[in-house]
Structure 1
Amino acid sequence: MKKRNIIITLFLILIIGVFNIKAQDNQTDNKDIISLIAKKRAYNKNNGSGYRIQLYNGLEKRAKSLRYRFQVEYPGVYTKLKYDQPDWKAQVGNYKTRLQADKALNIIREKFNGAIVIPI
């Protein structure tokens, strides 16, 4: 009797395990979802998505000097000088997430206290 109960219990555990594995094996190959993901990636490539740190917004001479000073302090970090009439902007970095940009901002603010994070 005990042996029979043990065998039945093991058999039930085996059946439940098989059904559990089958339940996790379902993959959805929905073409609409795949299409939307591809469109989102193409949009992000063309229009950009991410964040930069803006060091300065104002006069050309000051923007260029801050950009040069930043390049000396942090070599290897991408820098960009942008002109949006009538102001010049010194921007640095290319960050995918706001969290990455905020972490870099904490380090950069030690030497450039007016820096802010802006979306691209």
Structure 2
Amino acid sequence: MKTAFLTLVLLCTSGISIAQQGTVQVKQDRELSQLLNLYKKANESADFYTIQIGFGSYDKAQKLKSDAEVDFPGWYTKIIFDSPTYRVHVGKFSTKLEGERHFTEVRKKYPESLLLSPKN
């Protein structure tokens, strides 16, 4: 019994002592980073319907944003400063119908929410 236990301990510790260590480096083309930044800018300026769930101080807006990220995982959430308040927007919907469908869902949790149409 002792030899089996001793053999097991030796096997476990020998695996740890000869384990390999290393670092991982990711080399990425600069043009790919530029392309991703261009995509982000184009996506931010695109016209979408969105839902404003609330507004107020920066602290209140951050709390609303974190709550919305829990309530609607995977949805676009953003804090927008519109003097003198911070506004919290959720979702990016390409059509008004899609926006209205999600608006009814959001309105159950955030009754003061508004469906906003694209700027242009």
How many pairs are equivalent?
Answer: 77
Gapped regions of structure 1 (runs ≥ 5): 1-43
Secondary structure in 2 matching 1:109: helix
Q: Give the aligned partner of residue 58 of structure 1.
A: 56
Is 1:88 equivalent to 2:55 in the alignment?
no
Change (3 A) 1:45 1:82: closer
Query: What are the superposed Cα offsets for residues 66-118 of structure 1, whole Å, 9 maximum, x if unpaired?
Result: 11111111111110011112110100110011111110010111111111111
Larger Rg: 1
Instruction: Supply the RMSD in Å over aligned alpha carbons.
Output: 1.9
The normalised TM-score by structure 2 is 0.58
Structure-to-structure mapping, 1:1-120, within 5 angstroms:
47-120=45-118
Q: Distance in 2 between matches of 1:97 and 1:112?
A: 21
Deviations 1:37-66 (A, max 9, x none): xxxxxxx97952221000112221111111
SS in 1 for 2:79: strand
Residue 75 of structure 1 aligns to a residue whose secondary structure is coil
% identical aligned pairs: 26
